[in-house]
Amino acid sequence: MNKDVIYIEPEDDITDIITKIEKSKEKIVALVPPKKAGVFRSIVNIKLITKAGANAEKAVVLVTTDPSIIKLAAVTKLPVTKNLRSAPAVPKAEEIEEIEAAAVEETVVDDDNESENNDKKENKLDDDVAEENQKADEDKKSAKKDDGAENKSDDKAKEKKDGAEPKKNKNFSTNPFIAWIQKHKKTVIFGGIGLVALILLLIWANVIAPAVTVDVIVRTTTANFSENVTFTDKLEEENASEGKFYIQEKKIEIKEEKEFEATGKKNIGEKATGIVIVKVYFEAKGSITVEHGATFTVNDLSFIATEDTPVSWDGRFSNCENQDDVVLPGSHAQCLKSASVAVQAVEAGADYNIPATPGGWSFTANVSGVYSNQAMTGGTDKIVTVVQQSDIDQAKEQLKTSGEAANREALFESLNDDDFKIESSFRQTVGEAVSTPALGEQVEEKKKAKITVTTTASVYILDETKVKEFIKEKAKLADGYKIYEMNDPFIENFTKTEAGYIGKLKTSYVSGSEVTAKDVVETVMGKGLGTGRDDLTKAYSGISKVTTEVSFPWVTSFPNDEEKITVNIIVEDNNK
């Protein structure tokens, strides 16, 4: 059976090799690796080659004498042959030992001889390929001969085991250095690793790791600031550099609730009802109406008419209730007419129950002759607790007082970081209180009433940046000095006048010689620690002390890398 011989180039990767196997038209594919075949020194790649051959239904054979490749082929059970004429077989342990011995022997051979031998081997492989293509029938005979040669190789391996001295031992005895290395492989490997680690450690310790932290203590003084300023609510009138600031009013609405005890009392029993007689004297034909809601009072008890009641005279004296006493026409006759008016007590209660009397009760009303000889009945008592106005007013005042601090905090938290608030301008306005139950309504037993109020909290603000710039300008520091710390400024005596708003801006600040982290780094970078500290104290008269902290004890100078120098500017208040 013909085979396809594929010579692998040094630049071929595993993908290229698998592609060549798949494209081969022969059932047997012989792979010939180059001298430096890195792709064949990976067990993963050898497994991929084996799998690719199986998938393509091809017998893949490696043509090599490289011990490393043969070992990997043995693991994956990939057939190997030392030349194209030998029969391929999965390498055995004895064969691998023999090949390794031969490889070690070749390491002491002169490089030129080795190159010449390798060229001859490659030429021989080429001749073998040509001969294989011309004489396919002779392959079987050659394979049988090679089988015999392999058996001889096995016999030689057995002889070595029986005590024959390998050739490689004789060669190593002539090169003690190589023999020592071969004998102490682990020592050489671990020693090399340790040497590399030591070199890396020295580079890290002297180049990468060194870092220095510098604490620069600046001598400072504390001063108070107080300046009269004005405010305007018109942006176009602002002149911050002259102390006239634009202010805005910020507001928030807070919905608040508060429960309270109702103290009002109310009688919600039944109201007494009855009839009153209304008497009207007419001098002429006419009519009047006792309107619904008309009030009738007796013994300080009031009743109201529950409907409209008309009283009229048609002009006929025969219809007058006083017809026997009526004066004849033309002499100012007065005709008496009366009507019954249904009334109800203005309030519930048994007090409005008036008993009937023979003479009747006289009522005060806006009509004459009102009386009743009937009883007022049906009034009952039922006293309940109701909401009264004083209850609402008291709860509203308590809510205003207790909620002011929380409302102030909520308002201030709603401001931006750069908003300067005039705290003395804080105001809160409590809106109308809505009571539940409503005013005059009953509160259920063992329950409380509740008011709901919308409160508006407000405060005036201005730009904090402009305020601090004004303070720095008015402080008039000497050249080379700066403000390091400033307490929160505040406005005292904020007042509204006819001309606008006025107040006094106050604060305190800490100032000293101006030293920046950049200045410090530029002064000390690359210098010894002591030299760098001395140069800093000489360059800035306001520096009272310089201390350094190194990352490791062996660091004696400032790094040349500014990223590895950390600077802390510490202010020292001499007034303390």
Would you say 483 and 477 are in contact if contact means Cβ atoms under 8 Å apart?
yes
**pLDDT of amino acid 239:** 93
In angstroms, rounded to a whole number, what is the distance separating the alpha carbons of residues 557 and 565?
11
Would you say 10 and 34 are in contact if contact means Cβ atoms under 8 Å apart?
yes
Instruction: Report the sign of the C-alpha dihedral through residues 186, 192, 198, 203, in that order.
Output: negative
If you ran DSSP here, which 8-state letter would residue 358 be given?
Answer: S
Integer angstrom CA distances of residue 195 from 178, 179, 202, 205, 410: 20, 22, 11, 15, 67
**pLDDT of amino acid 229:** 95
**At a CB cut-off of 8 Å and minimum separation 6, what does 519 contact?**
539, 540
Backbone conformation region of residue 208, classed left if phi is above 0, alpha if psi is from -120 to 50, else beta:
alpha
Alpha helices, DSSP H only, in 7-42?
14-23
Residue 576 has which token pair?
Answer: 């303390």
Helix (H) / strand (E) containing 519: helix 517-524
Amino acid at 238: E
pLDDT in tens, the chain (576 residues): 678 888 888 888 888 888 888 888 888 888 888 877 778 888 888 888 888 888 888 888 888 888 888 888 888 888 988 888 878 888 876 556 555 555 444 444 444 444 444 444 444 444 443 444 444 445 444 444 444 444 444 444 444 444 444 444 444 445 677 777 777 777 777 777 877 777 776 666 555 557 889 899 888 888 999 999 999 999 999 999 999 999 999 999 989 888 999 999 999 899 999 998 888 888 888 888 888 988 888 888 889 999 999 989 888 888 888 877 765 555 566 888 888 999 999 999 999 998 887 666 666 666 666 777 788 999 999 999 999 999 999 998 888 888 888 889 999 999 998 899 999 999 988 888 899 999 989 999 889 999 999 999 999 999 999 999 999 999 888 888 888 888 999 999 999 988 889 999 999 998 888 888 888 998 888 888 889 889 888 888 788 888 988 877 778 888 888 888 899 988 886 655
Task: Give the bridge partners for 16, in sequence order.
Answer: none
Give the residue from 7, 61, 58 showing the smallest Cα distance to 37. Answer: 7
**pLDDT of amino acid 94:** 59
Would you say 382 and 268 are in contact if contact means Cβ atoms under 8 Å apart?
yes
Residue 257 has which token pair?
Answer: 């609730």
**pLDDT of amino acid 501:** 92
Task: Indicate the length of the chain as a whole number.
Answer: 576
**At a CB cut-off of 8 Å and minimum separation 6, what does 576 contact?**
none
User: b vs e for 258-286, b when ≥16 Cβ sit within 10 Å of the residue's Cβ?
Assistant: bebebebebbebbbbbbebbbbbebeeee
Residue 351 has which token pair?
Answer: 């007090």
SS3 85: coil
Tokens 């002759």 correspond to: 369
Amino acid at 172: F
**pLDDT of amino acid 152:** 44
CA 217 to chain centre: 37
In angstroms, rounded to a whole number, what is the distance separating the alpha carbons of residues 410 and 252?
8
Indicate the pTM of the whole model: 0.46
Amino acid at 427: R
Give the residue from 51, 52, 48, 53 showing the smallest Cα distance to 28. Answer: 53
**At a CB cut-off of 8 Å and minimum separation 6, what does 553 contact?**
none
